[in-house]
A and B are shown apart, each in its own frame.
Chain A
Amino acid sequence: MITEALQQVLNGLAIGSVYTLIAVGLTIVFGILGIAHFAHGSAAMSGGYLTFILTERLGLGFFPAMAVALIAGAALGVVLERLAYRPVRDAPQINAFIIALGLTMILEGGNLLLFGPDQVVIPTPYQHVYTVGGLVVAELRIQVMLTASLAVAAMATFVSRTRAGRSIRAVAQNRQAAVLMGVNADAVATMVFALSSALGVIGGALVGALLAIAPGVGEGLVVKGFAVLILGGLGSIPGAIVGGLVLGVSEALAAGFISSAYKDVIAFLVMIGVLLVRPEGLLGKR
């Protein structure tokens, strides 16, 4: 029983680390710029598809392909911010909300047009299975967890240790004061979208390797991402990390011990339960 529970936790951590990546991307955009970037999941899927094309058709290794897709994803983030969100930055919030919904449809349609309706799995060479103390873990799942951890750690280091990161934190704390202190808020917005999309692309590539990419997967991921955002605390990066893992593990335990049919329901019940006790989320500020 304990082994089975631990195995379910391990299973949940793999998918939870993908939720974390998506949620961290969403939380930096929402926390710093106040935009509910619904198209994030679709942008992540575009990166996943690109990784698939680079590995399957051009023969690149999984990580080199992901690195190329990550750069393309960051560029896509910059384009989205400049062309779609910046023009409505000072308009009522509903405008950015509608634009986000429109972008989701555009990106989903673009993915369908460019990559077709078929489900694809990104091939990787990680086929080993390890057994430790009755627990079984596939090499691919270890790679997913490690990659997600490294990506989030790199992003956190960038935000906390670099001059550019300091600008981001300044805008997040008080945009007007930051601008008065000479911070280029436009550049920060561009940088945030590039970072967010790059993280999303890593998430998309990992989902593509771990499970599969298909039309509609991005939309499902972004819903989970927003759930994690609320669970962890709006705008909190540590909250997004913890929230993503909690959601992944809750789903695995629910599917394993109750029923897969109710795993989403149970995961969202956990979220509601947490919010009843801590309305600001697990690590949100009171």
Chain B
Amino acid sequence: MTRIDEGLVARCTAVLAGLALCATAHAAQKELVIGVSDALTGPGAVYGLPQSNAVRMAVDDTNAKGGIKVGQDVYKLRLVAYDDKANPTEATNSVRKLIDRDGAQYLLGFCCSGPTSAVASFIGRENVTMLVGNAAERTITAQGIPNLFRTRPPADFTGSAAGAFVAKRGVKTIAVIGSLDVSFYSQYLEAFEREFTRTGGKILAKETFGLKDRDMTPQLTKVRALNPEALLVLGYVEPCAFVYRQAVELGMKMPRYGFTSGSEEQFLKVATSEQMEGVWDLRPTELTVSALGEKANAYVAEYTKRFGTPPSPSSPYAYDQFYVLKHAIEKAGSVDPKKVQDSIRSGGIPPEAIMRYLPVGSAMFDENGQAYTTNGAFQWQKGKWVYVSDLPSDPVAYSKYLRSLRK
């Protein structure tokens, strides 16, 4: 009888077990590409770059904790981000590259409405899931595209709340200066006007500026001659900051209301704190610690530590996008975009979310793929945006209205 060396058997068993374990571990370790298309340079970068950074921060944190667990598999995440320069053509190219070359099935970012609308026009035909951030144009979610979801509420959801707020403050006449040829600002104004005029308010003038305009004195001079009780400024941070600054330079002392979602740092690049004093920003209740609490505080601290600059107020839309996706994948137990979409549609608000969302029923997103945050009135006081109050908003009614627009 052949004698078996028990020590040898034990060693071989150990080696085989080790190899099997390695093989199993290797098979389970997979990679998931997260694509980001956003404005990383140009005028839209004030919104897009912080969004891209926020996604990077969430991806890094998730990878540091081991990745996303899907059934027996663990997915490490690889972030691929392209600059769409807030340009529809560039955004289309970026997204095509992400889908066709990088194999991304999950697309995040999208700060600006023009490029987002361009991508939305074809994304329904792709086997991917698209999560839109700061882009606020209404039609993006009015079409009912099944694989598109948006964390930011549409501009007119906020505009009507803002109109009621300004009217309630006793303003009877107002002049508007803004990027009125950009549809989501005109939609904000349309809703603002509806509420503002309901109580007898009147809009005296609607003056336009371009995205790259810096000299606003011609429009301000014209408006000043009409002697309005207040000014409403709608647009990207930089041109709006020029309006606020030059209004002071022209000696205009009326209350200034706006819709910009810019951070203190972004405004202070153009205007001084004294020139900004008293300005109101009527917008979704975005990143302000006093409005959003300690979770926002931790987010701001972590972001500032990583990128050397504080985040923009709207950047958590993208941060929240990522955690919506992460929880949806985990809940679906699959990375199949269709299953993940079903999971997003029925899912609640992720615990990591920074913004204060108003659920529609029990879900974070309504049947249009739209999420809603509370709206708030913020005022510039001594160098900071201070959260003053909520603006009453009804997401259920708006959701029905949005659904009614679908053809």
Q: Which residues of A contact B (CB under 8 A)?
A: 3-4, 7-8, 11-12, 14-15, 117-121, 129, 131, 136, 138, 140-141, 210-212, 216, 220, 251-257, 259-261, 263
Are B217 and A257 interface neighbours, CB within 8 A? no
Which residues of A sit under 8 angstroms from B214, Cβ to Cβ?
211-212
For A216, the chain B residues whose CB sits under 8 A away are: 212
Query: B218 an interface residue at 8 Å Cβ cutoff?
Result: yes
**B192-235: contact bitstring with A at CB < 8 Å (1 yes, 0 no)?**
00000000000000011110111101110110110000000000
Task: Tell me, in angstroms, the Cα distance from A216 to B208 when the chains sit together.
Answer: 22
Contact of B251 among A4, A131, A259 (CB under 8 A): A131
Q: Which residues of B contact A261 (CB under 8 A)?
A: 181, 208, 210
The answer to whether B250 and A129 touch across the interface, beta carbons within 8 angstroms, is yes
Q: Does B249 touch A at the CB level, under 8 Å?
A: yes
CB-nearest residue of chain B to A253: B218
- Which residues in B have their C-beta under 8 angstroms from that of A8? 218, 221-222
Q: Is B41 an interface residue (CB 8 A)?
A: yes
Complex alpha-carbon distance, A121 and B270, angstroms = 6
The yes or no answer to B45 lying at the interface (CB within 8 A) is: yes
- Centre residue among B212, B221, B224 by max chain A CB count within 10 A: B221
Q: Which residue of B lies closest to A18 (CB)?
A: B215
Cβ-defined contact, A120 with B269, below 8 A:
yes
Q: Which residues of chain B come closer than 8 Å to A256, judged between CB atoms?
A: 218-219, 221-222
The answer to the question of B242 belonging to the interface, with a C-beta cut-off of 8 Å to chain A, is: yes
8 A-B residue pairs with CB within 8 Å = A119-B238, A121-B270, A129-B248, A136-B224, A136-B250, A138-B250, A212-B270, A253-B218
B249 engages A138 (CB within 8 Å): yes
| Interface pair B41/A4, CB less than 8 Å apart | no
Q: Are A260 and B269 in contact (CB under 8 A)?
A: no
A263 to B249, CA, bound (A): 22
With known contacts A4-B221, A11-B221, A136–B269 Cβ distance under 8 A: no
Inter-chain pairs besides A4-B221, A8-B218, A119-B238, 11 sampled, C-beta below 8 Å: A7-B221, A11-B215, A14-B217, A129-B251, A131-B251, A138-B250, A212-B242, A212-B269, A212-B270, A254-B218, A263-B218
Residue ID in chain A nearest B238 by CB atoms: A119
What mask results when residues 51 to 66 of chain B are scored 1 for a CB within 8 Å of chain A, else 0?
0000000000000000
B222:A4 contact, CB within 8 angstroms: yes
Query: What does the 1/0 interface line of B247-286 toward A look like (CB < 8 Å)?
Result: 0111100000000000000000110000000000000000
In the assembled complex, which residues on chain A have CB atoms less than 8 Å from the CB atom of B218? Answer: 8, 11-12, 251-256, 260, 263
Chain B residues near A212 (CB, 8 Å)? 214, 238, 242, 269-270
Cβ–Cβ < 8 Å partners of B210 in chain A:
260-261
User: Would you give the shortest CB distance from A105 to chain B, in whole angstroms?
Assistant: 16
Alpha-carbon distance between A261 and B210 when the two chains are bound, in angstroms: 6
Alpha-carbon distance between A121 and B219 when the two chains are bound, in angstroms:
21
Q: Given A11-B218, A131-B251, A211-B242, do A119 and B208 touch, yes or no (CB 8 Å)?
A: no
Most chain A beta carbons < 10 A, residue from B181, B224, B242, B249: B249
The answer to whether A117 touches B269 (Cβ under 8 A) is no
Residues of A with C-beta under 8 A to B209: 260
Q: How far is the CB of A267 from chain B (nearest CB, A)?
A: 12
| B221 contact set on A, CB distance < 8 A | 4, 7-8, 11, 256
Q: How far is the CA of A111 from the CA of B284 in the complex (A)?
A: 36
Q: Is the CB of A260 within 8 A of B45?
A: no
Q: Closest approach, in angstroms, between the C-beta of A116 and any C-beta of chain B?
A: 11
Per-residue CB contact flags for chain B residues 172-197 toward chain A (1 = under 8 Å, else 0) read 00000000010000000000000000
- How far is it, in angstroms, between the C-alpha of A220 and the C-alpha of B214 when the chains are bound? 12
- A211-B242, A255-B218, A256-B219 as given contacts; A119 in contact with B45, CB under 8 Å: no
Q: CA separation between A261 and B251, bound complex, in Å?
A: 25
In the complex, what distance in Å separates the CA atom of A129 from the CA atom of B269?
A: 21
Q: Which residues of chain A are near B269, meaning CB under 8 Å?
A: 118-121, 212
